[in-house]
Amino acid sequence: MDLGIAGRKAIVCASSRGLGKGCATALAQAGCEVVINGRNEAALKATADEIAKATKAKVISVAADVGTPEGQAKLFAACPSPDILINNNAGPPFRDFRELSRQQMIDGVVANMIVAIELIQKVIDPMASRGFGRIVNITSSSVKAPIPGLDLSSGARAGLTAFLAGVARTVADRGVTINNILPGPFDTDRLRSGFKNTSEKTGTPIDKVIEARKAGVPAKRFGTPEEFGAACAFLCSTQAGYITGQNLLLDGGMIPTAF
């Protein structure tokens, strides 16, 4: 399917690896000029080269912490007028909520809610004036089914979801959509590091930890960054212009809900 976004400019945050990289790759395959972002300059450049070689698209790498004003300025200097914005940020690690300090809670809300809103503030009116814009926020399946120990991540991402639900309706008539993708278990470095930690803490062989987790997924496998990216690219397409303010759950059927 031709997604109708060839030539569009896209910013994909936290995209040197994992789900962000999957999104950047899919948008490049659709013909977009893509700005990728991360903090590790060497890893970022390697990813940019890989995507450019595979897709022949123009890929610009911006090494910056977009949680800071300086990082955001650097990002928009590379792409002043994006048509597509993919918000992505790692969540806080597992921790009992009783152990969270006030500053840790503030930092979590900033990273997983406020930064995305700040970036959207910068792009939404220019998108609306041009009559086209796609904003996709990568949140988590824990927004629908909170996971003990990830309470800070779940709360901040749920706050972002509610905040933008109203915002999405204010620009829908000007060709701008805002949607969220809620990943469950995807085969990423973050998921694999969790398996390693579980194995070390429990003494269970890591292959047993992995198989037990897969067994809990109705699809009996983990998702791939490539299929996640494909879903993201579709939400950015011209065909998805009537989809806004929605939460797309990608979890292999783990959360047994009808809606």
Q: 97 CB contacts (<8 Å, ≥6 apart)?
A: 151, 152
Residue 210: inside a domain: yes
Instruction: Supply 99's token pair.
Output: 């152990």
Residue 82: domain span: 9-185+224-250
Q: Is residue 257 part of a domain?
A: no
70 and 159: one domain? yes
CA distance 128 to 210: 45
Tell me: do 87 and 176 sit in the same domain: yes
Q: What is the reported pLDDT for 208? A: 93
CATH of residue 112's domain is 3.40.50.720
User: Is 162 found in the same domain as 234?
Assistant: yes
Do 162 and 197 reside in the same domain of the chain? no
Count of C-beta atoms within a 10 Å radius of residue 53: 10
Residue 99 CA to residue 105 CA, distance in Å, equals 10
The answer as to whether 255 is a domain residue is: no
Coil/strand/helix, residue 100: coil
Q: Are residues 105 and 194 in the same domain?
A: no
229 occurs within a structural domain:
yes
Number of domains in the chain: 2
* Angle at 122 (CA atoms; ends 84, 72), nearest 5 degrees: 90
pTM: 0.95
| Same structural domain, 91 and 169 | yes
In Å, how far are 185, 205, 239 from 215, measured between CA atoms? 12, 16, 35
Residue 56 lies in a domain: yes
The reply to whether 131 and 212 lie within a common domain is no
pLDDT by 10-residue block (mean), the chain, 259 residues: 97 97 98 97 97 98 96 97 96 91 97 97 98 98 93 96 98 98 94 87 92 95 97 98 98 92
The reply to whether 87 and 214 lie within a common domain is no
- 193 Cβ contact list (under 8 Å, min separation 6): none
d(CA 55, CA 29): 5
Residue 256 counted as domain residue: no
Judge if 177 and 129 occupy the same domain. yes
Sheet containing strand 84-87, edge to edge, reads 59-63, 33-38, 9-12, 84-87, 133-138, 176-183, 247-250
Tell me, yes or no, whether 2 lies in a domain.
no
For residues 178 and 137, is the Cβ–Cβ distance under 8 A? yes
User: Is 150 among the domain residues?
Assistant: yes
Torsion of the alpha carbons at 119, 125, 129 and 132, rounded to the nearest 10: 40
Residue 23 shares a structural domain with residue 102 = yes
Tell me how far the alpha carbon of residue 213 is from its chain's centroid.
Answer: 22
Q: Are residues 107 and 194 in the same domain?
A: no
Residues 216 and 228 in one domain: no
In whole angstroms, what is the distance from residue 85 CA to residue 60 CA? 14
Q: What 3-state class would DSSP assign to 84? A: strand
